[in-house]
């Protein structure tokens, strides 16, 4: 059984502030995918602009979302959980609130292309409604996106989440769908992020097949030197955050994979220790707390696919550091997988007696873009079944000087660059860690 994991699925929720461009984006996405668009506003209002009850509105959505493929456009947060249950993809248009408010003001002078059945709309009322909406966006422009992220974290962990913050990000996503071809799911070797990579069989086989676990002493030492509270980025299934919590350290975790966080919570419960973990990407980090120590337990930062992603993640790290705090970011320079290693499996037997293995199948490398993508095959073999899944593992590497410049652009000063033994790194080292502190 091969489990496809497309970057965009066929049941897509598009959400964001009023004026963020949801309807425009949804129509463009529909043109690129041949998926039908469900404009929720057209289904919400009853004749005469009568609002439905909560139960009526939920029943309506259950009916219109019953199909196998759709794009749902709208931001009714009270029922977002219902749409997330059906969705396999969420697109969040994270447009600045002031731009959304400006669009609402301008939109007041234009009549909508379509109205709900039985609803008349005088131009004067349209102008008044949109200007009131612009005022509302100004009031909730910061709190509403935070609420939305919380709902997605609670109810959308199974879905691929795309947060688009710029016109360029929107264009790139639409262009990727045009390259895939209308109406087709991308294959299971399409480029995917960590939130989609570490799911299903990959999450199950991660711990038993990895070569080594992070040494908790290293991170306990870092926290001891810098202070608590601490935040572990890319905490995965619990190493080393659980060991650090057992030692009584105040550490929280963040990961973009719901499957890995579920395994982390289960592992912590098995050791009778509480862990606080958050479902977020590093590029979207938005927590109410600030931290003295922020670290990654391994080179998870290399999984961010572009310099833009890396810069945004560093900015988020900077904004979450407390006064006097520091961040530790390990990195590595990948070596090409030789032809003799392709097709060579790493194999083990799990506690249930199943044969589990991971095999590098193919690889492409772009030194100019500093990208290496290896298609990995994951297998679990029992007497009755043979699960197989191919996924691309993408590494984006950074040279030391380039990363130093990225950190500086994010407001972080490089206090030290350390080798894998904790000594000052040389410029030729392929494994190193940046010790970063707020610049000013």
Res 434: pLDDT: 98
DSSP E strands in 127-172: the ranges are 160-164
Would 11-187 and 191-440 be classified into the same CATH topology? yes
Res 413: pLDDT: 97
Residues of the chain by 3-state class (helix, strand, coil), percent to 5: 40, 25, 35
| Helix, strand, or coil (residue 307) | helix
Domain boundaries, the chain: 11-187, 191-440
* Alpha-carbon torsion (358, 363, 366, 369), positive or negative: negative
Res 25: pLDDT: 93
CA terminus-to-terminus distance, the chain: 54
Q: Please, are residues 42 and 74 in contact by the beta-carbon 8 Å criterion?
A: no
Task: Give the span between the Cα atoms of 60 and 321, in whole angstroms.
Answer: 45
Res 56: pLDDT: 94
Q: What is the CATH number of domain 11-187?
A: 3.40.50.300
Only one residue has tokens 């590494």, namely: 395
Res 190: pLDDT: 44
Res 188: pLDDT: 35
CB atoms within 10 A of CB 146: 11
Residues 6+ apart with CB under 8 A from 421: none
* Tokens read off for 254: 């963040």
| Helix, strand, or coil (residue 101) | helix
Give domain 191-440's CATH architecture. Answer: 3-Layer(aba) Sandwich (3.40)
Q: Please, are residues 248 and 220 in contact by the beta-carbon 8 Å criterion?
A: no
Rg of the chain over all Cα atoms, to the nearest angstrom: 24
Give the DSSP H or E segment for 262: helix 258-270
Q: Does pTM surpass 0.85?
A: no
Res 110: pLDDT: 86
Mark the ranges of the chain whose per-residue pLDDT is less than 70: 1-7, 177-196
Strands 346-349 and 321-332: unpaired
Res 178: pLDDT: 59
């Amino acid at each position: 059984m091969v489990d496809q994991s497309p970057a965009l699925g066929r049941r897509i929720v598009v959400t964001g502030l009023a004026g963020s461009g949801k309807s425009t984006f949804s129509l463009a996405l529909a043109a690129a995918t041949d998926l039908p668009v469900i404009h929720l506003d057209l289904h919400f209002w009853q004749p005469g602009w009568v609002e439905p009850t909560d139960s009526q509105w939920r029943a309506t959505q259950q009916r219109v979302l019953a199909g196998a493929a759709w794009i749902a456009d709208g931001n009714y947060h009270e029922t977002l959980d219902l749409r997330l249950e059906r969705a396999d993809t969420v697109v969040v248009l994270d447009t600045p609130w002031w731009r959304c408010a400006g669009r609402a003001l301008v939109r007041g002078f234009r009549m909508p292309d379509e109205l709900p059945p039985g609803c008349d709309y005088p131009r004067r009322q349209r102008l008044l409604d949109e200007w009131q909406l612009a005022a509302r966006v100004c009031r909730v422009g910061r709190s509403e996106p935070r609420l939305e992220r919380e709902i997605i974290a609670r109810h959308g962990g199974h879905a691929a989440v795309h947060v688009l913050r710029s016109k360029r990000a929107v264009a790139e996503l639409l262009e990727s769908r045009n390259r895939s071809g209308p109406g087709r799911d991308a294959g299971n070797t399409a480029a995917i992020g960590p939130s989609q990579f570490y799911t299903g069989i990959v999450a199950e086989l991660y711990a038993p097949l990895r070569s080594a676990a992070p040494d908790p002493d290293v991170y306990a030492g870092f926290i001891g030197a810098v202070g608590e509270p601490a935040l572990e980025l890319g905490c995965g299934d619990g190493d080393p955050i659980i060991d650090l919590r057992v030692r009584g350290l105040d550490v929280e975790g963040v990961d973009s994979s719901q499957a890995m966080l579920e395994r982390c919570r289960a592992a912590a419960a098995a050791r009778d220790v509480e862990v606080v973990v958050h479902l977020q990407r590093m590029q979207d980090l938005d927590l109410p707390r600030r931290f003295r120590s922020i670290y990654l337990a391994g080179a998870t930062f290399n999984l961010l696919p572009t310099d833009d992603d890396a810069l945004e993640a560093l900015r988020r790290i900077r904004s979450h550091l407390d006064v006097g705090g520091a961040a530790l970011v390990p990195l590595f320079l990948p070596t090409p997988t030789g032809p003799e290693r392709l097709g060579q499996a790493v194999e083990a037997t799990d506690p249930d007696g199943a044969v589990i293995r991971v095999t590098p199948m193919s690889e492409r490398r772009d030194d100019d873009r500093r990208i290496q993508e290896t298609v990995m095959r994951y297998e679990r073999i029992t007497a009755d079944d043979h699960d197989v899944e191919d996924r691309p593992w993408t590494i984006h590497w950074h040279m030391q000087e380039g990363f130093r410049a990225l950190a500086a652009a994010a407001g972080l000063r490089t206090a030290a660059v350390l080798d894998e033994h904790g000594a000052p790194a040389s410029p030729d080292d392929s494994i190193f860690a940046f010790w970063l502190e707020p610049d000013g």
